[in-house]
Amino acid sequence: MKTPQRPQRLKTASWIGLLGLVTISMMDLSSYCHPGEGAKQLVTQVKSASLGHAEALAANAVLSESAVEISETSQELTWRALEDVEFKDVYVEELDAYYWKPTFGDGVTGLEGKDVYITGYMIPVDLDEDFYVLSRYPFANCFFCGGAGPESVVDLRFPGKSKRVYQTDERLTFKGTFRLNADDVYQMNYILDGAVEHEL
C-alpha cells in the first residue's frame, strides 16, 4: 500500500517556511531602525511626495465640493415632469384660429423661476433669428412634425447669440431659468431663459 503524499507535502512546506525564517533572521535589518544618509534622503522624498499628494487630495476635495454646490443649485427638469399640463382649444380672434391653451399642473408651476437643466434633441427653427428648441424626441417624431404635443419642446433663450450653429438632432443638455408661457401664442409654452450648454 502506497504512503499518502499529503504528510510529505506538509513536511516540505514546513521546511521551506523554516528556511525563510532563518534567512530573514540572518539579514542585517539595522538600516531600517537606523537608516543611513541615502535612506534618510529617500524617506524625505517619500514624505514630500505624500504631502504633495495630500495637498492635491485636499484641493480635489474643495473642487468636488464646489461642483456639488453648482449641481445642487440646478435641478434636473425631466420630460415626464413637463407632462403635467392640460390643453384646451381656445379661439383667438387676432389669428382667426384656435390654439391649444395650456393649464399647468402644480408640479410644473412649482418649477417656474428655478435653475434647471434638461437633455433633449436640438431642433433649429430659424437660424437667422438664432431660434432653437430642445425636443424630447428627434426631429422625425417631434412636435413640429405632428408626432408629439407642445409639452415636448422647450424654447431655448440664449444670453446673447448662441455660441455655435447647432445641428438637427444633436442630443445635448442645457441649463437655465425655467419659465412658463400660457398666453403668448407666438412663444412656446416652456422657455429656458439664459440657456447655456451644460456638461453633466
* CATH number of the domain residue 118 falls in: 2.40.50.140
Averaged pLDDT, 139-160: 89
Residue 34 has pLDDT above 70, yes or no: no
Extract the C-alpha cell encoding 144. Answer: 413640429
In a domain, 44, yes or no: yes
Q: Which residue has the higher pLDDT, 66 or 103?
A: 103
Is residue 54 domain-shared with residue 112, that is, in the same domain?
Answer: no
Mind listing the pLDDT tens digit for each residue in 85-120?
A: 999 988 888 878 888 899 999 999 999 999 999 999
What amino acid is encoded at 193 in this protein? Answer: D
pLDDT value at residue 109: 95
Angstrom distances, CA of residue 41 to CA of 35, 37, 177: 10, 6, 57
Query: Residue 59 belongs to what domain range?
Result: 36-73
Is residue 126 domain-shared with residue 140, that is, in the same domain?
Answer: yes
Is residue 117 domain-shared with residue 106, that is, in the same domain?
Answer: yes
Is residue 92 domain-shared with residue 166, that is, in the same domain?
Answer: yes
pLDDT value at residue 29: 40
pLDDT value at residue 141: 86
Extract the C-alpha cell encoding 150. Answer: 407642445
Is residue 132 domain-shared with residue 97, that is, in the same domain?
Answer: yes
pLDDT value at residue 77: 96
Q: Which residue has the higher pLDDT, 135 or 38?
A: 135
What's the whole-number average pLDDT of the chain? 74
pLDDT band at 200 (very low <50, low <70, confident <90, very high): low
In a domain, 55, yes or no: yes
Residue 98: strand pairing partners: 91
User: Which of the residue ranges 49-58, 69-78, 175-184, 191-200 has the most confident prediction, judged by mean pLDDT?
Assistant: 175-184
Number of Cβ within 10 Å of residue 105's Cβ equals 14
Is residue 80 domain-shared with residue 63, that is, in the same domain?
Answer: no
The residue out of 44, 73, 102 marking a domain boundary is 73
Is residue 162 domain-shared with residue 69, that is, in the same domain?
Answer: no
Q: How many domains does the chain have?
A: 2
Angstrom distances, CA of residue 106 to CA of 57, 72, 83, 103, 176: 44, 22, 11, 10, 20
Q: Within 13 Å of residue 37, how many CA atoms lie on the same side as its CB?
A: 0
Mind listing the pLDDT tens digit for each residue in 125-147?
A: 999 999 999 999 999 888 877 77
Is residue 47 domain-shared with residue 127, that is, in the same domain?
Answer: no
159 three-class SS: coil
In a domain, 31, yes or no: no
Residue owning grid cell 446673447: 160
